[in-house]
């Protein structure tokens, strides 16, 4: 399987197909207790390249689950099916999705570009490289690691607050700084129901 170029965007038909796969995988999980086994050969060629995705679930505008991967390791359509199921039933922040919640579910998919390492010597240099509303960010420090998808800029539009909250998500103090801190940015094609 080939990696898809990060500059290629999905057609409306491809987006609709991925949203349908995500919904079908969650429904399959409610009925069968496991993710839908999406077979890449059953889908258009555009849904078969290796791509990393996150699937975010909301009910009434409130987060209900979000699971994904930062590195591409399986075909796009299979990645979406797996992460939709995991967001509904395996996100440790939430109980498993109940059948009565399914009709209210809003599904959002982020298809990620490969991460790009950032070079910086200070927090100010890191902040200067961030593109609000565009970049997702991954922070690493020893065993601590966390990411915010680009869509998080909608809730945290200030770069300083965005970074501080990401540090906290990684288990670090809000004002943490170390020359060993590493960061990578990525973009995401974001769409939903």
Q: Are 166 and 146 a contacting pair, CB within 8 Å?
A: yes
Return the pLDDT at 52: 96
Give 8-11 contacts, CB < 8 A, sequence gap 24+. 9/189, 10/46, 10/111, 10/189, 10/191, 11/46
The CA-based diameter of the chain, rounded to the nearest angstrom, is 51
Rg (CA), the chain: 17
Task: Report the predicted TM-score, pTM, of the whole model to 2 decimal places.
Answer: 0.86
Is the pLDDT at 7 greater than 60? The verdict is no
Query: For 13-70, how does the pLDDT look when each residue is reduced to its tens digit (9 = 90+)?
Result: 999 999 999 999 999 999 999 999 999 999 999 999 999 999 999 999 999 999 999 9
Closest by CA position to 139, among listed 149, 130, 147: 147
pLDDT tens profile 156-183: 999 999 999 999 999 999 999 999 999 9
Give me the pLDDT at residue 2, please. 39
Domain-wise residue ranges, the chain: 12-112, 116-187
pLDDT digits (tens, 9 = 90+) for 128-153: 999 999 999 999 999 999 999 999 99
Mean per-residue pLDDT for 118-132? 97
CATH architecture under which domain 12-112 falls: 2-Layer Sandwich (3.30)
Packing angle of the helix pair 76-89, 12-32 (nearest 10 deg): 40
> Residue 119 pLDDT more than 70?
yes
- Would the pLDDT of 5 be above 80? no
- Class of the CATH-defined domain 116-187: alpha beta
Q: Quickly state the pLDDT bin for 9 (edges 50, 70, 90).
A: confident
φ, ψ of residue 133 in degrees (nearest 5): 80, -10
């Amino acid at each position: 399987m080939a990696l898809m170029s990060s500059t290629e965007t999905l057609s409306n038909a491809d987006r609709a197909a991925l949203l349908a796969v995500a919904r079908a995988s969650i429904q399959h999980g409610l009925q069968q207790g496991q993710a839908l086994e999406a077979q890449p050969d059953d889908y258009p060629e555009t849904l078969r390249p290796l791509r990393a995705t996150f699937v975010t679930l909301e009910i009434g505008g409130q987060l209900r689950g979000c699971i994904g991967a930062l590195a591409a390791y399986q075909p796009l359509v299979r990645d979406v099916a797996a992460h939709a199921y995991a967001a509904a039933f395996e996100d440790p922040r939430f109980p498993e999705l109940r059948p009565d919640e399914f009709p209210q579910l809003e599904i959002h998919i982020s298809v990620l570009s490969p991460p790009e390492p950032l070079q910086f010597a200070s927090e100010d240099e890191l902040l200067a490289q961030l593109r609000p509303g565009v970049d997702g960010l991954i922070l690493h420090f020893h065993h601590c690691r966390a990411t915010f998808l680009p869509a998080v800029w909608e809730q945290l539009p200030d770069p300083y607050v965005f970074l501080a909250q990401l540090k906290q998500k990684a288990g670090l103090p809000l004002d943490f700084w170390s020359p060993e801190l590493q960061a990578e940015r990525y973009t995401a094609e974001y769409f939903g129901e």
